[in-house]
Amino acid sequence: MSDTIPEMNPAIYGLVLAGGRSSRMGRDKGLIVYNDKPQREYIADLLRKFCAQVYVSCKTREYIPAELNPLPDQFELESPLNGILSAFRKNDTVAWLTVPVDMPYVDEAALACLLNHRDTNKMATCFVDSDGKHPEPLLALWEARAAAPLKKYYESGGISPREFLKQQNILLLQPPDKRIYQNINTPDELNDFLNKS
């Protein structure tokens, strides 16, 4: 059953996770084109349909054009956790819908599914990982209530969004399309993907 497309929600902000080093790819994964435009722009456009404000998480502002609303990492940490913590530092009263730049199959249906089935009493709404048990942590709707425990987790030495979510009361959903799990990290994976599509 496909989900209806939810209205834009003023209390949900969007975050494109694009602050990684892309060291395995050897070039910025956010600039790879899967859907007619650089993936970081494609995801930002997708998020704008549902979210009141959309930011592109990055290491430093210079990498991202101003019109994409760069949100530089605020913490000393190499992890997507930095992007999520920095988003909550910007605003900890809204929920953040996060999407990584390296999942080419993320689409409107995937985001609509998270938004329509959202449980605001949980810390987050996520898809169950391809292992069937654990949360896929980066394509997720993080409730504002997660801001304080996430900061505490970081201050006690935590670095992994997945590990954090495994300790929390979260809603786990089946994705509408299992292909969303595919993420592209290396030139070989990219070539395989482009040859098949």
Ligand X SMILES: Nc1nc2c(ncn2[C@@H]2O[C@H](COP(=O)(O)OP(=O)(O)OP(=O)(O)O)[C@@H](O)[C@H]2O)c(=O)[nH]1
- Contact between 24 and ligand X per CB under 6 A: yes
In the complex, what is the shortest distance from the CB of residue 1 to ligand X, in angstroms, rounded to a whole number? Answer: 29
102 annotated to a ligand binding site? yes
37 annotated to a ligand binding site? no
73 annotated to a ligand binding site? yes
Residue 40 vs residues 19, 128, 138: alpha-carbon distances, Å: 11, 24, 14
The 60-79 site mask, x for binding ligand X (CB under 6 A), equals: -------------x----xx
According to CB under 6 A, which one of 13, 14, 29, 95 is a site residue for ligand X? 29
Residues in the chain: 197
Give the span between the Cα atoms of 177 and 189, in whole angstroms.
Answer: 19
According to CB under 6 A, which one of 21, 48, 61, 166 is a site residue for ligand X? 21
Give the span between the Cα atoms of 171 and 91, in whole angstroms.
Answer: 22
List of residues 6+ apart from 72 with CB closer than 8 A: 19, 58, 59, 60, 61, 86
In terms of Cα–Cα distance, which of 17, 193, 157 is closest to 99? Answer: 17
Judged by CB under 6 A, the stretch of 12-20, 42-50, 116-124, 173-181 that binds ligand X is: 12-20
- Contact between 143 and ligand X per CB under 6 A: no
Using CB under 6 A, list all residues that contact ligand X: 17-24, 29, 57, 73, 78-80, 82-83, 100-102, 138, 185
